[in-house]
Amino acid sequence: MKKANLKKLALSSLFVAVIAAFAWLSIPTPFGINLAFSLFGVCLAGIVLDVKWAVFATAVYISLGAIGLPVFSHFTGGPSVLFGASGGFIWGFLITASLCAISKNIKRKPIKYLAFTAAVLLCHICGVIQFSFVTGNNLILSFLTASLPFLLKDIIFVFIADLVAKKIKF
């Protein structure tokens, strides 16, 4: 394996751990909505790594959770999480990581920030669709329940991830 690819593999492996660590970080609020940081780790991986390696890191993270390692939010793992009510958000991480990686080098900031926002929105769309399917709720109720309370936080997180990524040097 080439030295450059070995370095990228090592960085991707590091970001698997970063995504898991942020997934475990969750702040309860008095409104019953936990502020989970999972998507922040995914966005950071996407902004720091190339597309291929960001998707690889995210896929490895999801795979580790799929086999039961407690890498998801609230120290959970297993197929029941991936195919449960909130699993669509986890599947959406793949889209978010890839779109963040593709968008990070856009020179015009409004377009770049629009693309970052789209990355978060696409993740939420995946989450809402699976939430609706699993719970039997319609899409509007699913959006109001599973997405809307977290959407602004996740959009803010992608912008913070962009600021943090600028400070990371490899």
- Each residue of 121-150: pLDDT tens digit? 999 999 999 999 999 999 999 999 999 999
% of the chain surpassing 70 pLDDT: 96
Residues contacting residue 14 through CB under 8 Å, at least 6 positions apart: none
> Given a cut of 60, is residue 32 above it in pLDDT?
no
The alpha-carbon radius of gyration of the chain (Å, integer) is: 16
Q: What is the pLDDT of residue 2?
A: 87
- Each residue of 67-124: pLDDT tens digit? 999 999 989 999 999 999 999 999 999 999 999 999 999 999 999 999 999 999 999 9
Query: Apex CA 121: angle with CA 153 and CA 37, to 5°?
Result: 35
Domains located in the chain, CATH noted: 3-167 (1.10.1760.20)
Q: What is the pLDDT of residue 127?
A: 97
Cβ atoms < 10 Å from Cβ of 127: 25
> Given a cut of 80, is residue 30 above it in pLDDT?
no
Crossing angle of helices 38-48/87-103, nearest 10°? 30
Closest by CA position to 158, among listed 90, 107, 104: 104
Q: What is the pLDDT of residue 170?
A: 73
Compute the distance between CA of residue 170 and CA of residue 167 in angstroms, rounded to an integer: 10
